Structure 1
């Protein structure tokens, strides 16, 4: 559906994906995105601030900085593969136990997801994300069973080699259909959709 009309409202959250980042020293490159099923809620706050300069007895100029974003991503359950790839958890071949490696450093990744709207869907990517290890929580079943959820706290810093921290694309734009096949870089030719 190609349209030039913008949404008046946005709602919903689905199609969460992540893509591992490799820092080549001159650019960030991204592996193929992988699904993170069970998206529940996303909260993203802009980071940065303003620094006023006073002259002539007034606020003469205000410098504004963009320091990326911080946020929380609530998900039904974080996959074992995500815990291994991002937080360095390992699987013991003898016992089959997955365990955390206290020497492992979290890996950076791109976080991708989709909002719905009254006119069209919007797909978004946070380019340079670092997350903290999630808490582990559960509770006894009562007369009603509510599934547990897990919350990831993250920061999305500006790309150190390019002035960007996030991007979005709407239906009808060239990058939309293949958005979850490869991380879309502004200025680069979008990947053709695979139909997955």
Structure 2
């Protein structure tokens, strides 16, 4: 049996992947893009269970998973994230221009925590980010690095999925490809269902061929 993590520490390998929604509501994601310089990530669960009371007691508990709210602190927000997600525009002089009339884009956020045995990899599917604050300070005896913080909101997709993370027994193929494409359980189920459909079609074809052969033999 493989060893399991006892502790976790250190955030690293942060990526984002732009979210695309087709006319039929199907959700897909672009190729994950690295966001170097992660300092910290703090996300609080949003939404708590509530009780429905009847017959004098808590008759039914209503689940209320509204995702997560929190902050992602970076050394600097990458320019590519600013243009693709925050929708800042590069003009002809390659100057970043912020436009209040443009809506920001949703994205998946991928990241990992170090573990004593294996890194734990995560993905939040439906994230939105607000603009970072503008702040700095004068140098004193020592130079203090000024970081930038994105306020994040991660809400459920239409199908209810909020996040996913690798476990103790996650297959090596999924683990190694975590930052190549965004892992989606629905995609896995659909791909595994396709061979079964093909097998059913093949079986029908074989049965039809056998029936025709039998009929020809009888006629002869």
CA deviation string 1:139-158 (max 9, x = no partner): 11111112111111111111
> 1:169 aligned to 2:161?
no
Structure 1 residue ranges, 4+ long, deviating more than 6 angstroms after superposition: none
CA contact (8 A) 1:69 1:157 kept: yes
Partner of 2:21: 23
Q: 1:79 to 1:152 in 2, by over 3 A?
A: same
CA distance in 2 between counterparts of 1:188 and 1:64 reads 25
Unaligned segments of structure 1, at least 5 residues? 190-196
> 1:46 aligned to 2:45?
yes
Partner of 1:105: 103
Alignment of 1:1-196 (within 5 A): 4-25=2-23, 26-93=25-92, 95-160=93-158, 162-170=159-167, 173=171, 174-189=173-188
Partner of 1:194: none
Rg larger for: 2
CA contact (8 A) 1:121 1:170 kept: no
CA deviation string 1:45-72 (max 9, x = no partner): 1111222122332223221211111121
How many residues are treated as equivalent by the alignment?
185
Structure with greater proportional strand content: 1
Unaligned segments of structure 2, at least 5 residues? 189-220
CA deviation string 1:99-121 (max 9, x = no partner): 11121101000000010112221
CA contact (8 A) 1:120 1:170 kept: no
Partner-residue secondary structure (3-state), 2:36: coil
CA deviation string 1:58-108 (max 9, x = no partner): 223221211111121001100111101111111121x33211112110100
Partner-residue secondary structure (3-state), 2:81: helix
